[in-house]
Amino acid sequence: MTEKDPILYKDAGVDVEAGDAFVSRIRAAVDGTRTPQVLGAVGGFGGLFRAHFDLEDPVLVASADGVGTKLKLAFATGQHAVVGGDLVRHCANDIAVLGARPLFFLDYIATGRLDPDVLAELVEGIATACRHEGMALLGGETAEMPGFYADREYDAAGFVVGVVDRGRILDGSSIRPGDRLIGFPSTGLHTNGYSLARRIVGDSPELRLEAAPPSLGGVTVADALLAPHRSYTEEIRQLVADPDGNVKGLAHVTGGGIAGNLARILPATTGAVVRADSWEEPPIFDLLRRSGRVPEEDMRRAFNLGIGLIAVVGGEPTGGVPIGEIVEGDRQVSWES
């Protein structure tokens, strides 16, 4: 009887050495996000953050999200840093609309086979965005799961924690009929609607990822679809600090489109009217609309259509473009052309 060869951990698909190389690659990027409140070093069982706030009644605000099937475009093009940054900016926007400033970020990355170069680029994108937002990349988890993900593919999720003074939370409760909607432009799809967009591209031979249709002004389809999710944290800080703006609520336009996200901050006795012709859409949306013959209702449900942030104001803020107004209703959002 022949004795079997020993089965090693690496034979099962888990490469500990590759994991160590990955941690070494990202250490400098993560260290570059440290803030004075961070204690300890990379590699501990948990991230340490000194919770001392110069606020009257500090409230922690937390959110978690991913970037959806936009990841498939990163796999196809090798642009991993873009989706890493998107992960951070999406989460930071989600708490900023409540008036919070971000404190720290955690990530979770799962892959079938750990490729240090690919995942290091992803984490470097995360770290760069964290530095831009002024928050620490406090920790995370990288899971190598052989047989669970396709080769050189991964999933990623982000978790952000911020803080706001309780008396300055923006919850939309003071919104009233007559208030105005102010929109701030998106760079493109941001991180939503990619299942529909990818289906359209897959069914349209003229929309190869490397193609550069004239309507996109020389930009390739891949680059238009991979345009980074815009950060609105600076615009939000300016809005909140503007004494003439009287900001009553903010909506980050993500899954569900303009109507779905605006409805989340409306009081029960109010509705909204959005004027569809009040801003200019990025050309990628009309290209998808025409190529896929997508009904307008589905376009509005799947995509932000060029508006990534909506402020509900009672005054005259600086920046943005008027896109509608608050009316009496029951949280319904209607469209006017």
Query: Looking at residue 21, what is its pLDDT?
Result: 72
Average pLDDT in the chain? 93
Q: Which amino acid belongs to residue 207?
A: L
Query: Looking at residue 7, what is its pLDDT?
Result: 58
Query: Looking at residue 301, what is its pLDDT?
Result: 96
How far apart, in whole angstroms, are the C-alpha atoms of residue 185 and residue 73?
A: 23
pLDDT at 16 over 90: no
How far apart, in whole angstroms, are the C-alpha atoms of residue 231 and residue 252?
A: 10
The two most distant CA atoms of the chain are separated, in Å, by: 86
CA nearest neighbour of 307 among 333, 327, 277: 277
- Please give the model's pTM, rounded to 2 decimal places: 0.92
How far apart, in whole angstroms, are the C-alpha atoms of residue 247 and residue 239?
A: 7
Contact 289, 302 (CB under 8 A): no
pLDDT of 141-187, one tens digit each? 999 999 999 888 999 999 999 999 999 999 999 999 999 999 999 99
Quick one: what percent of the chain has pLDDT higher than 70?
A: 94
- pLDDT confidence band for 243 (50 / 70 / 90): confident
- pLDDT confidence band for 1 (50 / 70 / 90): very low
Contact 249, 264 (CB under 8 A): no
pLDDT of 271-318, one tens digit each? 999 999 999 999 999 999 999 999 999 999 999 999 999 999 999 998
Mind listing the domains of the chain with CATH numbers? Answer: 16-168 (3.30.1330.10), 180-336 (3.90.650.10)
